[in-house]
């Protein structure tokens, strides 16, 4: 072999080794290799992020925007600002959008009245855009004002990287020049992390959202000339083509800019997960990538009881009590501490006491909260949370195990005398 050939061979071998190393690193750093521009997987109980890819980048979110519209409608229902049986007529704007059958729509009529329930179901099941605009107008008087409410609520919920320009998630160019905010070709933007946070908040505050989100199909205005079958765009509902065990929500979305998006939630036994996929390549891809995320979560994480109810930390089994019949009282967990953890990592969690007070003053009631017990993770993975209170959700109350009555007058005097002589003895010892 000539010298030049030998160098060429060594160069080729080196190149292959580098390529192999980079490939291995890529697979290790992103074991799921999600085929989407952004994705995230979250534990719904704590907001702990189990997987993320490009999750902070604001992207077009298409009809996933309607999760925020749903939030505002459900909030108004719960505040009795509107009711499900309230009726509304349809504006020219909502009517014109509803007649565009190239978009998701149930055709609405100007001379008809529709209940809030009818319009909400059309939005949540069929992603009907005209119905969404009609709801926005009912709640805020105009879509322009509703968009202001959307942006204010998003900020209140803790979202950070977002811009809402309409209630539907459509591109403004599809709104006949009547778009409420933004430029003529603007779309709603949010990061995968913010979209997951929005899903988390609506599940926490209005879990009834799933009552409609989980309906696989329903007829809009049955037994009328306007009857139209609404098939849920969430094809991962168990009854549909990409059916997945436990999925009961939440919202798909697609536009030319957004690609194919999906915010999903699934529950199996005591575990509920939230996933978001943004800008995948096709209808099928968004469901296949969602399946990857959920499979990863359900297969690799489990809810495990780390500490039972009544557990006392050996280093802090009790607290001192002033002016009581006894001078100490036991403290223990009020209920079990159960967390979603990676399988096999239970030994990486250490119980840690966080006290609200260093001592109590009698009278003390049994079950009085004195702090919290948290499980501090000491393993190799750095877990993030969607919300600042995420770690607090992974804790349980520490409470007193007994009642301590206030001491009588004579006992209090004796306690003070003992305390004085104890202090005096310490001072004398300090002299030698």
Residue 275 falls in the annotated catalytic set:
no
Residue 66 falls in the annotated catalytic set:
yes
CA 408 to chain centre: 52
Residue 246 in this model has a pLDDT that exceeds 90? yes
Q: Examine the domain organization and report whether 223 and 341 are in the same domain.
A: no
Tens digit of each residue's pLDDT (9 = 90 or more) over 163-195: 999 999 999 999 989 898 888 999 999 999 999
DSSP 173: G
Q: Is residue 40 part of a domain?
A: yes
Residue 63 falls in the annotated catalytic set:
yes
Q: Average pLDDT of the chain?
A: 90
Buried b (16+ CB within 10 A) or exposed e, 107-127: ebeeeeebebebbbbbbbbbb
Q: Is residue 8 part of a domain?
A: no
Tens digit of each residue's pLDDT (9 = 90 or more) over 361-404: 989 999 999 999 999 899 999 899 999 888 777 899 999 999 99
Q: Examine the domain organization and report whether 404 and 364 are in the same domain.
A: yes
Q: Is residue 428 part of a domain?
A: no
CATH number at residue 359: 2.60.410.10
CATH number at residue 203: 3.40.710.10
Sequence length of the chain is 432
Q: Examine the domain organization and report whether 248 and 377 are in the same domain.
A: no
323 marked ligand binding residue: no
Pair of tokens at residue 321: 């009590």
Q: Measure the CA dihedral 264/268/270/276, to 10°.
A: -20
Residue 61 in this model has a pLDDT that exceeds 60? yes
Q: Examine the domain organization and report whether 383 and 278 are in the same domain.
A: no
Q: What is the pLDDT of residue 406?
A: 86
Overall number of domains in the chain: 2
Q: Examine the domain organization and report whether 226 and 330 are in the same domain.
A: no
Give me the domain span that covers residue 382: 308-409
Q: What is the pLDDT of residue 251?
A: 99
Pair of tokens at residue 388: 């600042």
Which carries the bigger pLDDT value, residue 327 or residue 121?
121
Compute the distance between CA of residue 49 and CA of residue 384 in angstroms, rounded to an integer.
5
Q: What is the pLDDT of residue 182?
A: 83
Q: Examine the domain organization and report whether 292 and 314 are in the same domain.
A: no
Mean pLDDT of all residues in 124-139: 98
Domain termination residue (choose one: 272, 301, 330): 301
Q: How confident is residue 13, by pLDDT bands cut at 50, 70 and 90?
A: very low
Q: Examine the domain organization and report whether 243 and 315 are in the same domain.
A: no
Tens digit of each residue's pLDDT (9 = 90 or more) over 279-321: 999 999 999 999 999 999 999 999 999 999 999 999 999 999 9
Q: Examine the domain organization and report whether 336 and 295 are in the same domain.
A: no
Q: Examine the domain organization and report whether 230 and 336 are in the same domain.
A: no
Q: Examine the domain organization and report whether 47 and 71 are in the same domain.
A: yes
Q: Is residue 419 part of a domain?
A: no
């Amino acid at each position: 072999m000539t010298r030049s050939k030998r160098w060429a061979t060594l160069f080729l071998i080196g190149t292959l080794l580098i390529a192999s190393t980079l490939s291995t690193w890529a697979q290790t750093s992103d074991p799921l290799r999600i085929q989407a521009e952004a994705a995230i997987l979250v534990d719904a109980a704590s907001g702990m992020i189990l997987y993320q890819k490009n999750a902070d980048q604001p992207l077009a979110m298409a009809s996933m925007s309607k999760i925020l519209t749903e939030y505002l409608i459900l909030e108004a229902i719960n505040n009795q600002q509107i009711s499900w049986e309230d009726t509304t007529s349809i504006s020219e704007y909502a009517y014109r959008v509803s007649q565009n059958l190239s978009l998701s729509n149930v055709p609405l009529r100007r001379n008809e009245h529709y209940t809030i329930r009818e319009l909400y179901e059309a939005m949540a099941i069929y992603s009907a855009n005209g119905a969404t605009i009609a709801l926005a107008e009912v709640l805020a008087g105009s879509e322009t004002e509703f968009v202001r409410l959307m942006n204010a609520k998003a900020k209140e919920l803790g979202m950070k990287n977002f811009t809402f320009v309409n209630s539907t998630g459509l591109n403004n160019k599809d709104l006949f020049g009547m778009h409420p905010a933004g430029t003529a070709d603007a779309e709603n933007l949010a990061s995968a992390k913010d979209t997951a946070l929005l899903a988390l908040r609506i599940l926490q505050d209005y879990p009834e959202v799933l009552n409609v989100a989980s309906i696989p199909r329903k007829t809009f205005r049955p037994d009328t000339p306007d009857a139209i079958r609404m098939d849920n765009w969430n094809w991962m509902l168990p009854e549909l083509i990409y059916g997945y065990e436990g999925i009961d929500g939440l919202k798909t979305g697609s536009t030319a800019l957004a690609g194919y998006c999906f915010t999903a939630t699934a529950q199996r036994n005591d575990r509920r997960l939230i996933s978001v996929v943004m800008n995948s390549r096709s209808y099928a891809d968004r469901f296949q990538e969602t399946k990857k995320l959920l499979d990863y979560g359900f297969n690799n994480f489990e809810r495990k009881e780390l500490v039972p109810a009544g557990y006392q930390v050996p280093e802090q089994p009790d607290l001192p009590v002033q002016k009581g019949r006894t001078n100490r009282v036991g403290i223990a967990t009020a209920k079990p501490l159960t967390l979603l953890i990676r399988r096999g990592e239970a030994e990486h969690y250490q119980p840690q006491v966080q006290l609200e007070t260093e001592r109590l003053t009698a009278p003390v009631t049994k079950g009085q909260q004195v702090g919290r017990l948290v499980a501090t993770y000491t393993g190799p993975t750095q877990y993030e949370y969607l919300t600042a209170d995420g770690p607090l959700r992974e804790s349980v109350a520490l409470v007193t195990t007994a009642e301590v009555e206030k001491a009588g007058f004579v006992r209090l005097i004796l306690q003070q005398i003992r305390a004085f002589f104890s202090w005096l003895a310490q001072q004398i010892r300090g002299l030698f």
